């Protein structure tokens, strides 16, 4: 029997070593990049609510379809070491896995599929483009665009039985730490970045996907 029946995994700086919005900002040059990096860092630390910057950052960047394709490639090239094998091992043991991210769904979908996730097991924010491939808007109805969106969405998945208990939530940012009152255990992932304010709220600290697999499968170490 595994230690956890379900695992909710963040994407940016957890499954992959990329912060998607920062990657897109860098494609717009240093002036925009510096502003976006500062806003992202404040939101990840919990200094400002995510909803206060989510749409603003996208409006500043105006990502095109080509930008999203480039980001998708960056995600695929930066998958955490051992993630593919660890995810496969957990899945083979019957653990229910879901990706929950405030990132851009269209960019994350290719790597999610490569790692064996069904499309319905990826929860992220969709963008809308015009007929020329230019940015039009984002799905503002998604709870994942606000600070408390992850516990709201994950709570619904648990209540519906799609995430059987016990549930482990894994991520690196403050929006992930908000899962602590919803999942059975919240673990901060520090393989790419360690944020002390997030670590302080975590029951576990996980430095790699091999450690994650051992924890979930009941062999901590």
Bridge partners, residue 6, by sequence: 96, 167
Across 32-58, b (16+ Cβ under 10 Å) vs e yields: bbeebbebbbbbbebeeebbebbeebb
- Catalytic residue, chosen from 12, 67, 172, 176, is 12
Active site includes 66? Answer: no
* 3-state SS track over 8-20: EECCECCCECCCH
Strands (E), 62-164: 96-104, 122-125, 127-129, 135-138
Residue 141: CB partners within 8 Å, gap ≥ 6? Answer: none
| Residue 41 annotated among the catalytic residues of the structure | no
Q: Which long-range contacts (CB under 8 A, 24 or more apart) does 111-114 make?
A: 111/15, 111/16, 111/72, 111/75, 111/76, 111/79, 114/76
- Which residues are CB-contacts of 155 (< 8 A; sequence separation ≥ 6)? 182
Do strands 204-206 and 6-9 pair parallel, antiparallel, or not at all (unpaired)? unpaired
- Secondary structure in 3-state letters for 143-158: HHHCCCHHHHHHHHHH
Quote the DSSP letter at residue 29.
-
Q: Which of 10, 22, 67, 176 is catalytic?
A: 10
Q: Please list the active-site residues.
A: 10, 12
């Amino acid at each position: 029997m595994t230690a956890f029946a379900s695992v909710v995994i963040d994407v940016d700086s957890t499954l992959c070593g990329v912060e998607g919005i920062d990657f897109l900002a860098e494609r717009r040059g240093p002036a925009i990049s510096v502003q976006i990096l500062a806003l992202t860092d404040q939101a990840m630390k919990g200094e400002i609510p995510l909803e206060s910057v989510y749409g603003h950052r996208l409006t500043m960047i105006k990502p095109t379809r080509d930008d999203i394709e480039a980001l998708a490639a960056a995600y695929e090239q930066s998958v955490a070491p051992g993630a593919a094998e660890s995810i496969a091992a957990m899945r083979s043991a019957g653990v229910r896995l879901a990706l929950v991210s405030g990132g851009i769904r269209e960019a994350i979908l290719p790597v999610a599929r490569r790692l064996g996730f069904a499309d319905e097991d990826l929860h992220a924010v969709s963008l809308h483009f015009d007929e020329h491939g230019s940015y039009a808007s984002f799905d503002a109805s998604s709870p994942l665009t606000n600070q408390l969106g992850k516990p709201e969405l994950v709570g619904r998945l648990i209540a519906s039985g799609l995430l059987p208990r016990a549930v482990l939530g894994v991520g690196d940012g403050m929006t992930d730490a908000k899962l602590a009152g919803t999942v059975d255990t919240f673990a901060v992932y520090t393989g790419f970045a360690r944020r002390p304010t997030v670590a302080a709220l975590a029951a576990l600290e996980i430095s790699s996907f091999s450690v994650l697999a051992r924890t979930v499968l009941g062999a901590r170490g």
